[in-house]
């Protein structure tokens, strides 16, 4: 039997998952499983270091596995499982040219691998015969067994003694069933069944011919598409589309020039904070501006989706598009400055960090659209390059312990930025060492905050915050000291050391 698609290998994976994760938190056990899984792929020659896509996703998979132990964040686990998903996609289709293709293959494989696993089980050999054939032949016993039960019922009703004996046997069977249900650990059974599903997904190599063909035939360079219509009509339609594009981009550039001029003057160089909350300044404006940038990219892509790329007189449209992209980059920078103003006065939070990461990806996306127009690249090129950029950004950001970073930054800047105690008190246990501030320090912070931020009021008083953190510390200590080594992680280990071993 081929080990690369062996039900036995799936069962071994399921047993390993059950042993490592049954009644355990996720920690060192995940890294250990990933190392064993990766080693199994190398041993069975399913992973090739010479395959660029497999190498990228394989490194991402192993790095994020390590990151989960180091940073121990929900975000890190989500990114790790995404990396695993993409890695399986490249294993199932080694010639994948894009992470989007790998994602599609893995999504299909999530379901088809289960079918393949059942199929392999049915086709496996039992004493030289296929299991499926053995099961099919065993159907001949179904009717006799049903007839036997019918006659047992008839004889039981016709003969009291016989019925008493059958009743005793029935009670014994019922007691046996009750005993089985009371002694069997169904949580263990459920864990093993779930592990079988995961094992089949990880090991049964399935793909999709349609997705493969789309990936294989996709080109990164646009080609002219001749239309089977009269030349005069085609040229007229192209010219009209060109004129429409020029008119639209002139109007949009003028509008954006006005908006950017206002932002550069007021946001970049003449911003003055007078104690307002900045919520309208950042929250409401930022989301609309980001949305407008995405629409702007779509507008440019629409006009450069086909034969306008090859229209010899499209120079004006091209220049207008470049100007539009540059202006949107300026707009993205303005959004970033707004966000940094918000951080400067109201400290760090997850959404503010998310805006920074998203804007970095947006600027790269604008650059790739610029390249697409300049070198007549296709939509496949855009999706491929931007998917890779998103993937790398997610991998890098999953390494950071954001909760601890937020807590440390916010308290370090408490003399100039607003400290939202209620928000900080809800950060995860691994940031407790950074959240553990003395009552005297909290009192000083509280006095300064009340003097500077007249319009803001914490839901928690500094004394309530202190009491809450002390309760959380005691709870964390108890949970950490009761953990099995399989659930060990570096982030909480460091927190425990800093809280109780210093």
Q: For 388-422, what is each residue's pLDDT tens digit? A: 999 999 999 999 999 999 999 999 998 888 899 99
Q: Is the pLDDT of residue 274 over 70?
A: no
Q: How many CA within 13 A on the CB side of residue 416?
A: 10
Residue 56: closest CA among 104, 94, 6: 94
* 325/331 Cα distance (integer angstroms): 10
Average pLDDT over residues 482-493: 93
* 106/102 Cα distance (integer angstroms): 6
Q: Of 21-25, 282-286, 312-316, which gets the smallest average pLDDT?
A: 282-286
* Confidence grade of residue 280 (pLDDT, cut at 50, 70, 90): low
For residue 276, what pLDDT is reported?
Answer: 59
What tokens appear for 420 in the block?
Answer: 């939202």
Q: What is the mean pLDDT of the chain?
A: 84
Q: How many CA within 13 A on the CB side of residue 348?
A: 17
* Confidence grade of residue 308 (pLDDT, cut at 50, 70, 90): low
Domain parsing of the chain, residue ranges: 1-220, 231-377, 402-500
Highest mean pLDDT among 189-203, 294-308, 330-344, 447-461: 189-203
Q: Is the pLDDT of residue 237 over 80?
A: no
Q: Is the pLDDT of residue 104 over 70?
A: yes
For residue 232, what pLDDT is reported?
Answer: 46
For residue 76, what pLDDT is reported?
Answer: 94
Helices 99-123 and 7-21: crossing angle in degrees, nearest 10, is 110
Beta bridge partners of 129: 126
Average pLDDT over residues 349-360: 91
For residue 62, what pLDDT is reported?
Answer: 96
Q: Is the pLDDT of residue 246 over 70?
A: yes
pTM confidence score: 0.84
331 with 325: CB under 8 angstroms? no
Q: Is the pLDDT of residue 234 over 80?
A: no
Average pLDDT over residues 453-470: 84
Grouping H, G, I as helix, E, B as strand and the rest as coil, residue 32 is: helix
For residue 487, what pLDDT is reported?
Answer: 92
For residue 470, what pLDDT is reported?
Answer: 95
Find all residues with CB under 8 Å of 259, minimum gap 6, and list them. 331
* 41/63 Cα distance (integer angstroms): 16
For residue 73, what pLDDT is reported?
Answer: 92
Q: Of 8-17, 288-297, 316-325, which gets the smallest average pLDDT?
A: 288-297
> What is the length of the chain?
502
Find how far residue 501's CA is from the centre of its chain.
Answer: 35
* Confidence grade of residue 283 (pLDDT, cut at 50, 70, 90): low
For residue 452, what pLDDT is reported?
Answer: 79
Grouping H, G, I as helix, E, B as strand and the rest as coil, residue 90 is: helix
* 254/248 Cα distance (integer angstroms): 10
Q: Is the pLDDT of residue 465 over 90?
A: yes
* 393/348 Cα distance (integer angstroms): 19
Average pLDDT over residues 147-172: 71
Q: For 35-81, what is each residue's pLDDT tens digit? A: 999 999 999 999 988 999 999 999 999 999 999 999 999 999 999 99
Q: Is the pLDDT of residue 233 over 50?
A: no
* 487/24 Cα distance (integer angstroms): 6
Where residue 127 falls (left for φ over 0; alpha for ψ -120 to 50; beta otherwise) is left
Q: For 331-343, what is each residue's pLDDT tens digit? A: 889 889 888 888 9
């Amino acid at each position: 039997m081929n080990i690369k698609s062996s039900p036995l290998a799936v069962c071994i994976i399921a047993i390993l998952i059950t042993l490592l994760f049954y009644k355990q938190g996720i920690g060192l056990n995940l890294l250990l499983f990933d190392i064993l899984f990766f080693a199994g792929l190398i041993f069975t020659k399913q992973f090739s270091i010479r395959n660029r896509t497999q190498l990228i996703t394989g490194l991402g998979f192993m790095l994020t596995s390590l990151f989960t132990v180091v940073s121990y964040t929900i975000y890190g686990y989500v990114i790790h499982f995404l990396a695993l998903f993409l890695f399986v996609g490249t294993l199932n289709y080694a010639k994948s040219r894009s992470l989007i293709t790998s994602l599609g293959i893995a999504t299909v494989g999530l379901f088809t691998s289960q079918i393949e696993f059942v199929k392999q089980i049915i086709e496996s050999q039992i004493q030289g015969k296929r299991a499926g054939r053995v099961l099919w032949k065993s159907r001949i016993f179904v009717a006799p067994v049903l007839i036997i039960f019918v006659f047992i019922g008839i004889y039981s009703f016709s003969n009291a003694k016989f019925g008493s004996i059958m009743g005793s046997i029935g009670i014994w069977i019922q007691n046996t069933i009750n005993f089985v249900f009371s002694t069997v650990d169904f949580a263990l059974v459920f864990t093993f069944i779930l592990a079988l599903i995961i094992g089949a997904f990880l090991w049964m190599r399935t793909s999709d011919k349609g997705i493969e063909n789309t990936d294989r035939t996709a080109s990164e360079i646009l080609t002219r598409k001749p239309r089977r219509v009269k030349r005069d009509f085609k040229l007229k339609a192209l010219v009209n589309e060109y004129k429409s594009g020029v008119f639209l981009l002139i109007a949009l550039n003028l509008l954006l020039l006005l908006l950017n001029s206002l932002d550069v003057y007021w946001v970049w160089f003449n911003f003055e904070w007078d104690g307002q909350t900045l919520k309208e300044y950042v929250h409401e404006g930022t989301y609309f501006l980001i949305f407008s940038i995405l629409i702007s990219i779509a507008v440019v892509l629409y006009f450069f989706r086909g034969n306008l790329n090859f229209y010899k007189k499209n120079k004006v449209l091209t220049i207008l598009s470049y100007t539009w992209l540059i202006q949107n980059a300026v707009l993205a920078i303005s959004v970033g400055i707004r966000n940094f103003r918000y951080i400067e006065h109201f400290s760090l939070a997850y959404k503010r960090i998310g805006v920074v990461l998203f804007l970095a990806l947006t600027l790269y996306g604008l650059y790739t659209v610029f390249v697409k127009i300049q070198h007549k690249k296709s939509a496949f090129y855009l999706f491929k390059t931007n998917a890779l950029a998103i993937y790398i950004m997610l991998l890098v950001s999953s390494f950071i312990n954001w909760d601890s970073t937020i807590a440390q930054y916010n308290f370090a800047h408490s003399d100039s930025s607003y400290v939202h105690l209620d928000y900080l008190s809800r950060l995860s246990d691994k940031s407790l060492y950074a959240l553990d501030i003395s009552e005297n320090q909290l009192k000083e912070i509280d006095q300064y905050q009340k003097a500077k931020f007249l319009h803001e009021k914490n839901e928690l008083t500094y004394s309530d915050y202190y009491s809450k953190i002390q309760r959380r510390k005691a709870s964390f200590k108890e949970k950490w000291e009761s953990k099995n080594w399989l659930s060990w992680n570096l982030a909480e280990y460091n927190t425990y050391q800093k809280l109780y071993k210093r």
